[in-house]
Amino acid sequence: MLWVTSILNWIAGHGVSVSYLAIQPIAGHFADKLDVAKTIRIGLALSALSVIAIPFASGVLLAVVAAIAGIGVGTVWTNTDTLMSNLAKEGKLGETMGVAGSFKELGDMVGPLLIGILAQAFGLTIGFVACGILGLGALLLIARPTVVKSR
């Protein structure tokens, strides 16, 4: 039965990647038709809650939760640049996007290091839960109406 566990873990790992890539055009469409900030909020909720659930799932459920995490992250990732461009002041689009890009990259560099330190010190479960809680914190920040006024 060890080979079944290995196959399910392989499916979960690749499922997150495939769902992350596949959702991006769809999430962009929803952002265009509905609202960018609302679409990002949905993605943040999906990704944060599923990341929290990952250490408690196994087998087929792990594959499903991982795919949901990919959908959430892909939804957020593809629409944050759109939100930032909507919030940019007239004549400041390049500067706004440059700063936003720097912060995204900083998060990509520092985030895994901090979560890795937490996971090393307290275990993988704490690392996943902490990452999900940070996502829920971001959800609270973007929920503030003064932050996400559309043009």
Asked if the structure places residue 58 within a domain, the reply is yes
Both tokens of 129, joined, read 């839960």
Domain count, the chain: 1
Mean pLDDT highest for which of 2-6, 23-27, 31-35? 23-27
What's this model's pTM, rounded to 2 decimal places?
0.83
List the Cα angle 149/37/101 in 5-degree steps. 90
Give the whole-angstrom CA distance, residue 56 versus residue 52. 8
Asked if the structure places residue 62 within a domain, the reply is yes
Domain holding 95: CATH number?
1.20.1250.20
For the segment 49-65, what is each residue's pLDDT rounded down to a tens digit? 999 999 999 888 988 99
